[in-house]
Amino acid sequence: MHVLLWILLVTIIDGLVAFAGAFTLALRDKTVRKVLFALVAFSAGAMIGGGLLHLLAESFKSLDVDSAMLIFIVGFSAFFLIERLLHWHHCHAGEKCKVHTYSYMILFGDGIHNFIDGLVIAAAFITDIHLGLITSFLIIGHEIPQEIGDFAVLLHGGMKKRKALLYNFISQLTAVLGGLVGYFWLTNELRIFMLPFAAGGFIYIAASDLIPELHKEPKLGRAMLAFMFFVIGVLLMLAIKIFAKGLV
């Protein structure tokens, strides 16, 4: 399949993730919390494993270690700064959320976030189809609990269900625009830059947004279950890397 088709397919699927929140309407709050808890733990492990073992490792093929690590730190810092400026707010544990900004600010922040995701997906697919699929898996895997949380925030902010779903979907579709911009206008130098930059972003999301949510669980049994899903996420990324090497 042509690289552009892969980028379009994945970013459109990423857009459809916006409707994940709708499925929670038919579930009990307790069930939603359990599902989200497992997803968050798995996503944290997968993002750390994928960011370090795949994206950062791939960047070492084109950049020296110092340059790659410096860009990695820039990516980590940029995601920290953007989150503070735009007040991104994720309710990963399915709890009722305080609306730090108006609902439209959440949509605006997510729109920029998703546009960057599209750029990262394009950069990864242009580099290597295998890397593109891994990156897409990481992004979409994180988007599921995030979109469920964002949907809850929009409803909490007074938005009607249909309007919340529609606006969330439009915000999510900026990933398609990012993918197209990345494919047609991303230079080779910027593409190489995007890999460690995205790795830094993934590590930031896992370390500052996801793992702290897991620490809120007071019961030891559930905490150990979360750790198990976290390890599974890391091991899956390792297994994919080993399997890919075996095919070469």
Q: How many CB atoms lie within 10 A of CB 31?
A: 12
- Pull the structure tokens for residue 69: 């690590």
- Pull the structure tokens for residue 213: 């949510």
- Report how far residue 172's alpha carbon sits from residue 107's, in angstroms, rounded to the nearest whole number: 9
Asked whether 139 and 120 are in contact (CB, 8 A), the reply is: yes
- The pLDDT value recorded for residue 100 is 38
Asked whether 5 and 194 are in contact (CB, 8 A), the reply is: no
Asked whether 161 and 14 are in contact (CB, 8 A), the reply is: no
Q: Is residue 163 part of a domain?
A: yes
The number of residues in the chain equals 248
Pick from 113, 110, 86: which is nearest to 100 by CA? 86
Q: Is residue 176 part of a domain?
A: yes
Name the domain count of the chain. Answer: 1
- The pLDDT value recorded for residue 189 is 81
Q: Is 96 helix (H, G, I), strand (E, B) or coil?
A: coil
CA dihedral sign of residues 212, 217, 220, 222: negative
Q: Is residue 80 part of a domain?
A: yes
- Report how far residue 63's alpha carbon sits from residue 55's, in angstroms, rounded to the nearest whole number: 12
Asked whether 228 and 37 are in contact (CB, 8 A), the reply is: no
Cα Rg of the chain (Å, integer): 17
- The pLDDT value recorded for residue 94 is 46
- Pull the structure tokens for residue 66: 């110092």
CB burial readout 74-94, b (16+ within 10 A) else e: ebbeebeebbeebebbbbbbb
Asked whether 186 and 123 are in contact (CB, 8 A), the reply is: yes
CA dihedral sign of residues 37, 40, 41, 42: positive
- The pLDDT value recorded for residue 103 is 60
Amino acid identity of residue 3, one-letter, is V
pLDDT in tens, the chain (248 residues): 689 999 999 999 999 998 887 777 777 777 777 777 888 888 889 989 999 999 999 899 999 999 999 999 999 998 888 777 765 444 444 445 444 344 666 677 678 778 989 999 999 999 999 999 999 999 998 788 777 767 766 776 677 878 888 988 998 999 999 999 999 988 888 888 999 999 998 999 889 888 988 888 888 888 899 999 999 999 999 998 888 676 54
Q: Is residue 23 part of a domain?
A: no
Residue pointed to by tokens 């997968």: 46
Amino acid identity of residue 146, one-letter, is Q
Q: Is residue 22 part of a domain?
A: no
Q: Is residue 226 part of a domain?
A: yes
Range of the domain at 124: 3-16+32-242
- The pLDDT value recorded for residue 161 is 78
Asked whether 154 and 106 are in contact (CB, 8 A), the reply is: yes
Q: Is 92 helix (H, G, I), strand (E, B) or coil?
A: coil
The model scores a pTM over 0.85: no
Q: Is residue 230 part of a domain?
A: yes
Q: Is residue 26 part of a domain?
A: no
- The pLDDT value recorded for residue 91 is 46
